[in-house]
Amino acid sequence: MAITIQQYPIGGQYITMAHNPVEYVVSSNNTAQPNFKYIADLSWTSGTTSVRYIQGADPTNGRCRFDLSSVLRNVVTYDPPVDALNDFYDCKNSYSTLTIKFGEQYGPTSAITNYVNLQSDGMYIWNACIPINRWWNNQTTVPELYSVKDYKSKFLTDYPFRVQDNGIKVCYNDRHFLYFLQSGINDDVYQVKIELYKSGSVWNTIYWDCPAAINKTKNVVRIGVGPLNLQTSGTELNYFSSQSPCIDEDVEYYSVVLLDDKATELTETLFFSINCECTWETPYRLCFLNSLGGYDFFNFNWNSKKSSSYEKSYFKRKAWSWSSDASPTVSYRSNYRGKVQYSTIATDRLQLTSGWITEEESAWLEELISSPDVYILDNETGQLTAVTVTDTQYDYKTLEYDQLFNLTVNLEFAHNRYRQSL
């Protein structure tokens, strides 16, 4: 009896995306046995439940393809910044480790026997869904682009502008969070380094250490790096800074990078450009799950419109009553109801419009429209209000054909309002 793993999931033998195909190809030297089938036993760290797959051999080559994604996409979920903590936060819902044990079964119909755990493998998955055209020609390297190892990896965001003179757009009063991925192999995120610039020169440098329970492990991690996050003081954010206060309204932009214990950069240096649009309206900052398993943020500052629709239910009753004297008579009054509204359910909606956006931002913001998990972020309190994007079509804008353009998004609040019952 011999089972051989011929092909591993996207990314090789250590990490892959839960919402992409998670495929193993195995072979056996016993495929000629009667009633032969392959067995795959799957278990993961987020629970004790295991799943068994039993599949036949391919009739042309004797191998078997197991795609585990239909199960694994329900093993991991997501970690929006609901607690608004700024420090390193272990996003335990966004990743899981799994064990896959391969075996086989065969024998006469009256005595089919299972031979289990003949070959095994371990895998680390996270809540990502990378478009197929980004990995089909180079399957082994895509996850490594986002996994902190011994080279510079990317944060879990596809925001198009990441350079010094044109970074992620934030306002001074914005909260913002970055997510990154650790594979647990040769990586040790020791601290985050933030450099703040005035007039093109470094004015202040902020460091804070990654807790020992989070570094050098397999996990998805979140840190708060928005201008408002960096104004927080006290025990929550254990940083040290060369200036006090650590950030002020004269800062033009700043950079964020993760370091190991030798001050070697482990990630790309991501830049943030502080640019507050002048508006007389209430600004809305949306927080949305991106395809990489992190959360992105974007401000809508113009022409917000609120509306509500109502689902009303009625019943009919008599519109009169008996009088209360000794010889009752029928009495009608103007305040009697013959038609009674006994149920009122209100659905609240919000239409938001952005300022002018670039062609690159237009392509990136498709992730907002298609995202299954969207919130309105209250910068002051850090509270997230769940909403659903109701738009079912997205038109990509280009400078060549559209010149100036912005984005309008239609939202529906995820909770109904109920009025009194009569």
Domain boundary (274, 304, 324) is at: 274
Rounded Cα–Cα distance for residues 199 and 201 (Å)? 6
In sequence order, what are the beta bridge partners of 223? 178
Q: What is the per-residue pLDDT for 183?
A: 73
Does any domain span residue 88? no
Contact between 376 and 286 (Cβ < 8 Å): yes
Report the pLDDT value the prediction gives residue 241, as an integer from 0 to 100: 66
Residue identified by tokens 């910068």 is 379
Within a domain: residue 138? Answer: no
Residues contacting residue 278 through CB under 8 Å, at least 6 positions apart: none
Q: Quick one: 288 and 414 in the same domain?
A: yes
What are the residues whose beta carbons fall under 8 Å from the beta carbon of 23, sequence distance 6 or more?
Answer: 7, 9, 10, 65, 66, 67, 68
Question: What CATH code is carried by the domain that includes residue 373?
Answer: 2.30.110
Which one, of 246, 221, 102, 205, lies nearest residue 153 by Cα?
221
At 215-261, the pLDDT tens digits run: 767 789 999 999 988 875 544 455 666 666 688 888 899 999 999 88
- What proportion of the chain, given as a percentage, has pLDDT over 90? 48
- Residues 39-90 have pLDDT tens digits of 999 988 655 558 999 999 999 999 999 999 989 888 899 999 987 667 788 9
Mean pLDDT confidence for 210-216: 76
Kindly tell me if the per-residue pLDDT of 140 is higher than 60. no
Both 100 and 157 in one domain: the answer is no
Whether residue 242 is found in the same domain as residue 270:
yes
Let me know if residue 173 belongs to a domain. yes
Q: Is pLDDT at 133 greater than 90 in this prediction?
A: no
CA pair distance 304, 312, nearest whole angstrom: 26
Peptide bond into 21 cis (omega under 30): no
Question: Picking from 128-137, 150-159, 281-290, 361-370, which range would have the lowest pLDDT averaged per residue?
Answer: 128-137
Q: How many CB atoms lie within 10 A of CB 377?
A: 26
Q: Enumerate residues 6+ apart whose C-beta is below 8 A from 297.
A: 170, 174, 175, 176, 177, 226, 285, 286, 287, 288, 377
Residue 365: band (very low, low, confident or very high) from pLDDT cuts 50, 70, 90: very high
**Is position 333 within any domain?**
no
Judgement on whether residues 111 and 183 belong to the same structural domain of the protein: no
The DSSP result for 168-201, as a single string, is EEE-TT---EEEEEEESSS----EEEEEEEETTE
* Same-domain check for residues 299 and 253: no
Q: In 3D, which of 300, 157, 314 has the Cα closest to residue 220? A: 157
In terms of domains, do 259 and 201 share one? yes
Residue 90 belongs to some domain of the structure: no
60 and 156 in a single domain? The answer is no
| Claim to verify: residue 107 and residue 178 sit in the same structural domain | no
How many residues are present in the chain?
422
Residue 357: both structure tokens together = 């956006």
The residue among 222, 240, 273 whose CA lies nearest residue 83 is: 222
> Same domain, yes or no, for 52 and 117?
yes
Sign of CA dihedral 265, 266, 268, 271: negative
Residues 6+ apart with CB under 8 A from 86: 223, 224, 229, 230, 232, 236, 237
Sign of CA dihedral 404, 156, 221, 269: negative
Write the CATH number for 119.
Answer: 2.60.40
**Would you state the pLDDT for residue 397?**
83
**How many other C-beta atoms lie within 10 A of the C-beta of residue 88?**
22
Neighbour-count burial for 135-148, b at 16+ CB within 10 Å, e otherwise? beeebeebbbbbbb
88: closest CA among 202, 262, 229? 229
On whether both 128 and 150 belong to a single domain, the answer is: no
Share of the chain above pLDDT 70, in %: 90
| 268 against 44, higher pLDDT | 268
- Pairing state of beta strands 321-322 and 302-316? unpaired
pLDDT band at 28; cut points 50, 70, 90: very high
User: Which domain, by its residues, includes 348?
Assistant: 284-315+342-418
Mean pLDDT taken over the chain: 86
Answer yes or no: do 42 and 128 share one domain.
yes
Judged against a pLDDT cut of 70, whether residue 295 lies above it is answered with: yes
Is residue 87 included in any domain, yes or no?
no
Give the end-to-end CA distance of the chain in Å, rounded to a whole number: 73
Q: How many domains is the chain built from?
A: 3
**Dihedral of the CA atoms 75, 80, 83, 85 (nearest 10)?**
110
Q: Tell me, what's the pLDDT at 52?
A: 92
Residues in a beta bridge with 66: 24
User: Which range is least confidently modeled, 158-162, 190-194, 323-327?
Assistant: 323-327
Establish if 84 belongs to a structural domain.
no
Does position 131 have pLDDT exceeding 50, yes or no? yes
Rounded Cα distance between 417 and 367, Å, is 28
Q: Which region among 52-66, 199-213, 286-300 has the lowest average model confidence (pLDDT)?
A: 199-213
Measured distance CA(114)–CA(17) in Å, rounded: 30
Residue 322 lies in a domain: no
Do 163 and 114 share a structural domain? no
